[in-house]
Amino acid sequence: MKASYLSAAGPKITVRKARTGDADQFITLVNELANYEKLSPPGRKEIRRLRRDAFGKNRKFELVMGFAGSRAVAYAVYFMTYSTFLAKPTLYLEDIFVLPEFRRAGVGTAIFSILGETAARRRCGRMEWSVLKWNEMALNFYGKIGAKELSEWTYFRMTEDNFSRLIRAGKTGRRALTQG
Protein backbone atom coordinates (compact mmCIF):
# COMPACT_ATOMS: atom_id res chain seq x y z
CA MET A 1 0.00 0.00 0.00
CA LYS A 2 1.19 3.45 -0.82
CA ALA A 3 -0.35 6.89 -0.75
CA SER A 4 1.11 10.00 -2.39
CA TYR A 5 -0.17 13.54 -2.59
CA LEU A 6 1.05 17.11 -2.91
CA SER A 7 1.10 18.91 0.41
CA ALA A 8 0.19 22.55 0.81
CA ALA A 9 3.21 22.65 3.14
CA GLY A 10 5.65 21.91 0.35
CA PRO A 11 7.07 18.70 -1.11
CA LYS A 12 5.21 15.63 -2.26
CA ILE A 13 4.19 13.45 0.69
CA THR A 14 4.42 9.67 0.33
CA VAL A 15 3.25 7.15 2.92
CA ARG A 16 4.33 3.54 2.47
CA LYS A 17 5.50 0.40 4.24
CA ALA A 18 9.01 0.85 5.59
CA ARG A 19 11.98 -0.71 3.83
CA THR A 20 15.30 -1.84 5.29
CA GLY A 21 17.00 1.33 4.02
CA ASP A 22 14.62 3.41 6.17
CA ALA A 23 16.05 2.10 9.45
CA ASP A 24 18.18 5.14 10.34
CA GLN A 25 15.37 7.59 9.67
CA PHE A 26 12.97 5.40 11.67
CA ILE A 27 15.30 5.50 14.69
CA THR A 28 15.60 9.28 14.34
CA LEU A 29 11.80 9.60 14.45
CA VAL A 30 11.58 7.27 17.48
CA ASN A 31 14.02 9.61 19.25
CA GLU A 32 11.86 12.59 18.22
CA LEU A 33 8.79 10.88 19.71
CA ALA A 34 10.67 10.20 22.96
CA ASN A 35 11.62 13.87 23.11
CA TYR A 36 8.01 14.95 22.41
CA GLU A 37 6.67 12.68 25.16
CA LYS A 38 9.48 13.71 27.55
CA LEU A 39 10.82 10.13 27.75
CA SER A 40 14.32 8.72 27.50
CA PRO A 41 15.15 7.65 23.95
CA PRO A 42 16.16 4.06 23.28
CA GLY A 43 19.77 3.16 24.07
CA ARG A 44 22.16 1.16 21.88
CA LYS A 45 20.74 -2.24 22.83
CA GLU A 46 17.18 -1.08 22.28
CA ILE A 47 18.08 0.43 18.91
CA ARG A 48 19.62 -2.87 17.80
CA ARG A 49 16.42 -4.67 18.84
CA LEU A 50 14.23 -2.09 17.09
CA ARG A 51 16.18 -2.56 13.86
CA ARG A 52 16.00 -6.35 14.13
CA ASP A 53 12.31 -6.40 15.09
CA ALA A 54 11.32 -3.95 12.34
CA PHE A 55 13.52 -5.12 9.49
CA GLY A 56 14.90 -8.54 10.40
CA LYS A 57 13.89 -12.04 9.41
CA ASN A 58 11.38 -12.55 12.27
CA ARG A 59 9.71 -9.16 12.45
CA LYS A 60 7.77 -8.40 15.62
CA PHE A 61 5.76 -5.48 14.23
CA GLU A 62 4.91 -3.70 11.02
CA LEU A 63 5.95 -0.19 10.13
CA VAL A 64 4.50 2.49 7.86
CA MET A 65 6.44 5.70 7.24
CA GLY A 66 5.61 9.07 5.77
CA PHE A 67 8.11 10.97 3.64
CA ALA A 68 8.34 14.55 2.39
CA GLY A 69 10.52 13.96 -0.63
CA SER A 70 13.20 11.61 0.75
CA ARG A 71 12.97 12.86 4.34
CA ALA A 72 11.05 10.68 6.83
CA VAL A 73 8.51 12.85 8.64
CA ALA A 74 6.20 10.29 10.26
CA TYR A 75 5.85 6.67 11.26
CA ALA A 76 3.33 4.21 12.65
CA VAL A 77 4.16 0.93 14.40
CA TYR A 78 1.38 -1.65 14.47
CA PHE A 79 0.74 -5.34 14.99
CA MET A 80 -2.17 -7.74 15.17
CA THR A 81 -3.99 -8.81 18.33
CA TYR A 82 -7.22 -10.77 18.60
CA SER A 83 -10.71 -10.08 19.94
CA THR A 84 -12.32 -13.19 21.38
CA PHE A 85 -15.72 -11.45 21.55
CA LEU A 86 -15.67 -10.43 17.91
CA ALA A 87 -13.76 -13.58 16.94
CA LYS A 88 -11.71 -11.38 14.62
CA PRO A 89 -8.23 -9.88 14.58
CA THR A 90 -7.60 -6.35 15.83
CA LEU A 91 -5.03 -3.99 14.34
CA TYR A 92 -3.26 -2.44 17.32
CA LEU A 93 -1.45 0.85 16.69
CA GLU A 94 1.44 1.05 19.14
CA ASP A 95 2.94 4.37 18.00
CA ILE A 96 2.11 7.08 15.54
CA PHE A 97 4.27 10.17 15.28
CA VAL A 98 4.38 13.07 12.83
CA LEU A 99 7.07 15.73 13.03
CA PRO A 100 5.52 18.98 14.33
CA GLU A 101 6.16 20.94 11.13
CA PHE A 102 4.22 18.32 9.12
CA ARG A 103 1.17 18.10 11.36
CA ARG A 104 -2.00 19.33 9.67
CA ALA A 105 -0.44 18.49 6.28
CA GLY A 106 -2.46 15.28 5.86
CA VAL A 107 0.29 12.83 6.83
CA GLY A 108 -1.61 11.40 9.81
CA THR A 109 -4.76 11.01 7.74
CA ALA A 110 -2.79 9.21 5.01
CA ILE A 111 -1.25 6.86 7.60
CA PHE A 112 -4.65 6.08 9.12
CA SER A 113 -6.06 5.48 5.64
CA ILE A 114 -3.38 2.86 4.96
CA LEU A 115 -3.94 1.29 8.37
CA GLY A 116 -7.68 1.21 7.70
CA GLU A 117 -7.07 -0.50 4.34
CA THR A 118 -4.79 -3.01 6.08
CA ALA A 119 -7.40 -3.70 8.79
CA ALA A 120 -10.16 -4.15 6.19
CA ARG A 121 -8.00 -6.43 4.01
CA ARG A 122 -7.17 -8.59 7.05
CA ARG A 123 -10.84 -8.66 8.07
CA CYS A 124 -10.18 -7.00 11.42
CA GLY A 125 -13.11 -6.23 13.66
CA ARG A 126 -11.48 -3.03 14.91
CA MET A 127 -8.39 -0.88 15.29
CA GLU A 128 -7.23 0.21 18.72
CA TRP A 129 -4.58 2.49 20.19
CA SER A 130 -3.94 4.62 23.24
CA VAL A 131 -3.14 8.31 23.56
CA LEU A 132 -1.70 10.41 26.35
CA LYS A 133 -4.39 12.49 28.07
CA TRP A 134 -2.42 15.72 27.62
CA ASN A 135 -2.08 15.30 23.84
CA GLU A 136 -5.00 17.54 22.83
CA MET A 137 -3.94 17.75 19.19
CA ALA A 138 -4.02 13.97 18.84
CA LEU A 139 -7.31 13.68 20.75
CA ASN A 140 -8.92 16.22 18.43
CA PHE A 141 -7.53 14.50 15.32
CA TYR A 142 -8.82 11.09 16.40
CA GLY A 143 -12.28 12.54 16.99
CA LYS A 144 -12.27 14.10 13.52
CA ILE A 145 -11.47 10.79 11.82
CA GLY A 146 -14.32 9.07 13.67
CA ALA A 147 -12.50 7.28 16.52
CA LYS A 148 -14.35 6.92 19.81
CA GLU A 149 -12.76 7.28 23.23
CA LEU A 150 -13.24 4.20 25.43
CA SER A 151 -13.95 5.77 28.81
CA GLU A 152 -15.02 2.48 30.39
CA TRP A 153 -11.57 0.87 30.02
CA THR A 154 -8.46 1.45 32.11
CA TYR A 155 -5.10 0.35 30.75
CA PHE A 156 -2.63 -1.49 32.94
CA ARG A 157 1.04 -2.10 32.36
CA MET A 158 3.53 -4.52 33.81
CA THR A 159 7.19 -4.13 32.94
CA GLU A 160 9.85 -6.81 32.77
CA ASP A 161 11.21 -5.92 36.22
CA ASN A 162 7.93 -7.30 37.65
CA PHE A 163 7.88 -10.52 35.63
CA SER A 164 9.97 -12.47 38.16
CA ARG A 165 7.52 -11.57 40.96
CA LEU A 166 4.64 -12.72 38.78
CA ILE A 167 6.40 -15.98 37.92
CA ARG A 168 7.24 -16.57 41.60
CA ALA A 169 3.61 -15.99 42.51
CA GLY A 170 2.51 -18.60 40.03
CA LYS A 171 4.94 -21.12 41.48
CA THR A 172 4.34 -20.45 45.17
CA GLY A 173 0.69 -19.54 45.18
CA ARG A 174 -1.24 -16.38 45.71
CA ARG A 175 0.54 -15.23 48.89
CA ALA A 176 3.64 -14.10 46.98
CA LEU A 177 1.56 -11.55 45.05
CA THR A 178 -0.09 -10.01 48.09
CA GLN A 179 3.07 -9.98 50.22
CA GLY A 180 5.12 -8.19 47.54
pLDDT tens readout for residues 103-143: 999 999 999 999 999 999 999 999 999 998 888 988 888 88
In terms of Cβ atoms closer than 10 Å to its own Cβ (0-12, 13-18, 19+), residue 44 is exposed
- pLDDT tens track for 52-99: 999 999 999 999 999 999 999 999 999 999 999 999 999 999 999 999
Q: How confident is the model at residue 169 (pLDDT cuts 50, 70, 90)?
A: confident
Contacts of 112 (CB under 8 A, 6+ apart): 145
Which pTM value belongs to this model? Answer: 0.84
Instruction: Report, at the CATH architecture level, how domain 2-148 is classified.
Output: 3-Layer(aba) Sandwich (3.40)
Residue positions annotated with a catalytic role: 142
Residues above pLDDT 90, as percent of the chain:
64
Domain spans in the chain, listed from the N-terminal domain onward: 2-148
**173 confidence band (pLDDT: 50, 70, 90):** low
Distance (Å, whole) CA 79 – CA 62: 6
